[in-house]
Chain A
Amino acid sequence: AQKVTQAQTEISVVEKEDVTLDCVYETRDTTYYLFWYKQPPSGELVFLIRRNSFDEQNEISGRYSWNFQKSTSSFNFTITASQVVDSAVYFCALSEARQAGTALIFGKGTTLSVSS
């Protein structure tokens, strides 16, 4: 069965600190897709990144970076020099490559609070 675990429920940091959000997933498929979404207080889920299971290249986008390791079934997300605007709930999600549908399986989320 597929499952996504985000062990960190809440993280609090001070502005300019680096912070890493952990995500561990379980799937029996060899082809799958991993995502990170951000949910600010307004409630709308904002897409951040998608990674295919056959592409283990790490990615950096501005202050954001993602570390995908199939050997440990992890897809961790690091924010460098955090800012108050980064305060939100962050969700990791998994989608298996099935013909019938592309449901996203979400973790429970990590609430990040950045104070000034």
Chain B
Amino acid sequence: DAGVTQSPTHLIKTRGQQVTLRCSPKSGHDTVSWYQQALGQGPQFIFQYYEEEERQRGNFPDRFSGHQFPNYSSELNVNALLLGDSALYLCASSSTSGGGRDTQYFGPGTRLTVL
């Protein structure tokens, strides 16, 4: 049973560029959440997708957008990259079958470096 997968593993971009990160949820999961983890900090919630719609959003600017596809996979897009966007981006999947309160399982993350 495959866990949560993310691609790419590492990415280097320059300021002002745009980036797309991808996530495939664990088998049987229908909800995907994205988190940003700066060095030495705990993960910060960006947003959550369910049924192809953004269900909840954290305190991140509109430069951060996402999408969920019919197969439950998801993309995180960041426009106009800033140096401060350098971080580990974590994707987590969960299931709504348990009343929506199921545990989130995380992928290995994408390390984004903005130069």
Contacts and interface: CB of A to CB of B under 8 A. Distances in A.
B107 A44 contact: yes
Contact of B103 (A4, A43, A50): A50
B109 A102 contact: no
B43 A45 contact: yes
Given A45-B43, A91-B43, A104 B104 contact: yes
Interface in B66-115: 88, 90, 92, 94, 100-109, 111
B42 A35 contact: no
A102 B29 CA distance: 14
Contacts, number: 65
A98 B42 CA distance: 22
B56 interface: yes
24 contacts: A4-B42, A37-B106, A43-B108, A45-B90, A47-B103, A47-B104, A47-B106, A97-B101, A100-B56, A101-B56, A102-B56, A102-B102, A102-B104, A103-B48, A103-B56, A103-B58, A104-B35, A104-B45, A105-B45, A106-B42, A108-B40, A108-B42, A109-B41, A109-B42
A106 B40 CA distance: 13
Interface string A20-64: 000000000000010101000011111100100000000000000
Interface residues on B, range: 20 to 34
Interface string B26-48: 00000101010000111111001
Contact of A95 (B43, B55, B101, B106): B101
